[in-house]
Structure 1
Amino acid sequence: APKCMLNNPFKIFLSCFMGVLISCSVPANDQELINKLKSARSDLEYKILGPSDIPGFFELQIGNDSNFYVSSDGKFLLDGDVYLIGDGDFSNVKESKFSQVRKIAMSKINKDDLIIFRANNKTKAVISVFTDIDCGFCRKLHKEVPSLNASGVEVRYLAFPRAGLDSKSYQKALSAWCSDDPKESLTDYKNGDDKPFLECGTNAVAEQYRLGLELGISGTPAIILEDGSLVPGYRTAEALTKIMGLKS
């Protein structure tokens, strides 16, 4: 088996209330299925996302994590990645679907709500980056932006303060977005310049943070390519341009 699959094995859990589940009938709708899940763990929030590629299973979101599957009879819960066996390779089913979701989400964002570092000349590619001002690897990635711009890559920043909307990271992000010169302000904060906090009427930072949660973003930097693919973590400008096919 490939290494990626060994690192992401299926974990099949039988509910501690198995006797209750076995005695119940097959759920007629999403709510009945959620009720079964609630009978096992009432402290969690569940959302049925729809039928999955595994026969007899539905995609399930628990809290902000959408990497679960529940059987249509409510007896089994799967946690992990599903791989489609193809000719010569394994493909991650969830990632393929999520790429389209991310692509559509990025296309609907108002560009006026983003902090954009444009390509120096002709734009050859665009990346959207969920960033946390206080994240060390986000700061490291920001130092690669001039090289990315020189290579024809436009960098669009979205705010994702990992500590939440009550944190200093959120206040810094809000200050950058509210600044008269957002690019300069964002750069100053990433360079460790703790300037006075600003406030304005924008909801962009909070909305982008919530969007990140909906898209399954849990760490930063989270780089989304034009096709919706997710590149997690720090990459050099050279590595990113190779991933995007701009360099061999």
Structure 2
Amino acid sequence: MKNSSAISRCAGLAFGVLALGMVGVAHSAAGADGAGRSLGAPGGPGADASLIMQRLRELRPDLPIEEVRPAPMPGMFGVELAGGQILYVTADARYLFAGDLYELGDTDLINLAEQQRIAKRLELMATVAMDEQLVFSPQGVTRASISVFTDVDCGYCRKLHLEVPQMNAMGIEVRYLAYPRAGIGSESYDKIVTAWCSDDRNEALTRLKRGEELAAVTCDNPVARHYQLGRSVGVTGTPAIVLPDGQLLPGYLSADELARTLGIEPS
């Protein structure tokens, strides 16, 4: 997948959420008293969060809600969904909007939603042991590292892998995590399990990305865990690159582009 904008990637979800907002307003109006006042539950932030969770469960039971907590904007709560998308709901559970919340800083706009996603992403990525990843390290000094969710049958994943030697030469370490796009139990899943279960895992991954056929092998492996982790941190396609600061870059970037992103002068 070539690097693409966050707007296009979220378009489908945003449409569904707008529908939820319209249904929610109508439903809430029916639950207000004659003066139009909200009949929201009394109490502090905990009561508001419970009310919001209850209302969303009633209206959209399929929403993958992970957490509801006060937002930086007074009177609003952030509803975090699986994958990192955040919805914002008023404390009385009457109004909802989809989209990132920004603070007007002294010199620039600050994306508060992305800050929250980054913090969660860093926390989740820190749970992955180094020996669970396929690591391509520089021969000399390591100046930076990237984590890459990859699939062996993805064209842009293969293109990115061809750039790994150049990245290593610039001091960039590449840490691969498995993300078979077709899902657990698919042919791509079986192939990437073979890479993780081979005696020389890095060589097996490289050969599979060349399109070579390898005899299938299996073992106790982290592929399913990596796949679920990818979904939790916001991966929707491959390759997906996570930078040391927690930023998620969807799609392919050249070695030179990645180096510049990491503050390294390309060579």
TM-score bracket, normalised by the shorter chain, equals 0.7 to 0.9
Amino acid at match of 1:116: V
1:210 correspondence with 2:228: yes
1:127 correspondence with 2:138: no
1:197 correspondence with 2:216: yes
1:39 deviates by 2.1
TM-score, normalised to structure 1's length?
A: 0.88
- Provide closer, same or farther for how the CA distance between residues 221 and 72 of structure 1 changes in structure 2, counting only shifts above 3 A: same
Q: What is residue 100 of structure 2 aligned with on the other side?
A: 81
Provide runs of 4+ in structure 1 moved above 6 Å. Answer: 4-11
Equivalent of residue 166 in structure 1, options 166, 185, 192: 185
Q: What is residue 91 of structure 1 aligned with on the other side?
A: 110
- Provide closer, same or farther for how the CA distance between residues 64 and 242 of structure 1 changes in structure 2, counting only shifts above 3 A: closer
Bigger shift: 189-198 or 26-35? 26-35
Q: What is residue 66 of structure 1 aligned with on the other side?
A: 85
Is this contact kept in 2: 1:34–1:47, CA < 8 A? no
TM-score, normalised to structure 2's length?
A: 0.82
Q: Unaligned regions of 5+ residues in structure 1, if any? A: none
Bigger shift: 211-220 or 86-95? 86-95
Q: What is residue 166 of structure 2 aligned with on the other side?
A: 147
Q: What is residue 178 of structure 1 aligned with on the other side?
A: 197
Q: Which has the larger share of strand?
A: 1
Tell me the distance in 1 between the aligned counterparts of 2:169 and 2:189: 30
1:18 correspondence with 2:28: yes
1:6 deviates by 8.7
- Provide closer, same or farther for how the CA distance between residues 64 and 246 of structure 1 changes in structure 2, counting only shifts above 3 A: closer
1:225 correspondence with 2:243: yes
SS in 1 for 2:152: coil
Is this contact kept in 1: 2:49–2:91, CA < 8 A? no
Amino acid at match of 1:152: G
Q: Map 1:26-45 to 2 at 5 A.
A: 26-27=40-41, 28=47, 30-45=49-64
Q: Unaligned regions of 5+ residues in structure 2, if any? A: 42-46
- Provide closer, same or farther for how the CA distance between residues 43 and 126 of structure 1 changes in structure 2, counting only shifts above 3 A: closer
Q: What RMSD over aligned residues (CA atoms) do the two structures have, in Å? A: 2.5
- Provide closer, same or farther for how the CA distance between residues 113 and 237 of structure 1 changes in structure 2, counting only shifts above 3 A: same
Tell me the distance in 2 between the aligned counterparts of 1:214 and 1:22: 36
Number of residue pairs aligned between Structure 1 and Structure 2: 244
